[in-house]
C-alpha cells in the first residue's frame, strides 16, 4: 500500500495564525483527502484535493478557512487559517489505492 | 441520524475472552464496508474489509447484514495488543463515512 509522510506531527499555534500541513505520497495518486478528527469524534472529511483543479469541499468547510494545494500527483498541503481554539484537532490526509485507503500519521494541532 | 453509529464503549475484555460489537449505517445504497483499527495517537489502519458472505482473518470475524444495515466485528482469544479503537467505515457515493469507534481494552 502507499506510504504517506505527513508533517508536522504536532504543533501549538497562537490564535489568529495559520498552520500548513504537508503530505507526501510515495506513489502517484489521483485523489488525496483531508480529514479532521476532533477529540472523541469520528473522522470528518474536509475536502478532496484533485491535481489540476480546485479542491472539493464538504458542507461546513470553506476554501478561505482551509485552503488546499495539490501541485502534483504525490503532494498536497492543507492550511488551517485564522486559528481559533475550536480548530484544535487532529488533521489527517488520506489516499486511495488498489489496496484501499491509507492515512498519514496525522497532525495534532493545539491552538492557544 | 448519523451516517455510521457505534457504541463507543469502552469494552473491557478479559485476556483470552471473545468480544463482539456492531455498527449501524443509514445509507442503504452503501457499497463497501471496512473495519479500521486506530491506536491511541495514531492514524487509522485497515483491519479488514467486510464482505456480504462474511469473512474471517485469524481471530477476527466480520459480518455484514444489509437487510438490517449493520456490520459486526468479533475478536476471539483477545490479546493485550488488541486494545485499540475499532472504527466502522462505510463507503457510498465515492466517499467514506466513519463511526466514532468502539474502544476495546483487553485486561490481563
Taking only the tens place, the pLDDT of each residue in B40-81 is 989 999 999 998 888 999 999 999 999 999 999 999 999 999
Asked if B44 lies within 8 A of A103 by C-beta distance, the reply is yes
* Cβ within 8 Å of residue A39, ≥6 positions away: A89
Asked if B46 lies within 8 A of A105 by C-beta distance, the reply is no
Q: Give the whole-angstrom CA distance, residue A14 versus residue A109.
A: 11
What pLDDT, in 10s, does the model give residues B74-90?
999 999 999 999 999 99
Could you say which DSSP state residue B77 is in? S
What pLDDT, in 10s, does the model give residues A33-59?
999 999 888 999 999 998 888 899 999
Disruptive mutation site among B24, B33, B44 for chain A (greatest number of A CBs within 10 Å): B44
Asked if A103 lies within 8 A of B100 by C-beta distance, the reply is no
What is the maximum alpha-carbon separation in chain B?
42
Q: Which of A41, A99, A103 sits opposite B43 (nearest CB)?
A: A103
Q: Mean of the pLDDT values across residues A61-89?
A: 97
Contact present, B62 and B54 (Cβ < 8 Å): yes
Res. A21: pLDDT tops 90:
yes
What is the maximum alpha-carbon separation in chain A?
40
Res. A8: pLDDT tops 80:
yes
A42 touches chain B (CB under 8 A): yes
Amino acid at each position: 500500500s502507499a506510504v504517506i509522510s505527513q508533517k508536522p506531527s504536532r504543533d501549538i499555534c497562537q490564535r489568529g495564525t495559520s498552520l500548513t500541513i504537508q503530505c507526501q505520497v510515495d506513489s502517484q495518486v489521483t485523489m488525496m483527502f483531508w480529514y479532521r478528527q476532533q477529540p472523541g469524534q469520528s473522522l470528518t472529511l474536509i475536502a478532496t484535493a484533485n491535481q489540476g483543479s480546485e479542491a472539493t469541499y464538504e458542507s461546513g468547510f470553506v476554501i478561505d478557512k482551509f485552503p488546499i494545494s495539490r501541485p502534483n500527483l504525490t503532494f498536497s498541503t492543507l492550511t488551517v487559517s485564522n486559528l481559533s481554539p475550536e480548530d484544535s484537532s487532529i488533521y489527517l490526509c488520506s489516499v486511495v489505492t488498489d489496496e484501499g485507503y491509507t492515512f498519514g500519521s496525522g497532525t495534532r494541532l493545539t491552538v492557544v | 441520524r448519523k451516517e455510521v453509529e457505534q457504541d463507543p464503549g469502552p469494552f473491557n475484555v478479559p485476556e483470552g475472552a471473545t468480544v463482539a460489537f456492531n455498527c449501524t449505517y443509514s445509507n442503504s445504497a452503501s457499497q463497501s464496508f471496512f473495519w479500521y483499527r486506530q491506536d491511541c495517537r495514531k492514524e487509522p489502519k485497515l483491519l479488514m474489509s467486510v464482505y456480504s458472505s462474511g469473512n474471517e482473518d485469524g481471530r477476527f470475524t466480520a459480518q455484514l447484514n444489509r437487510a438490517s444495515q449493520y456490520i459486526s466485528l468479533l475478536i476471539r482469544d483477545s490479546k493485550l495488543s488488541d486494545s485499540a479503537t475499532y472504527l466502522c467505515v462505510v463507503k457510498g457515493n465515492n466517499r467514506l463515512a466513519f463511526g466514532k469507534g468502539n474502544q476495546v481494552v483487553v485486561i490481563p
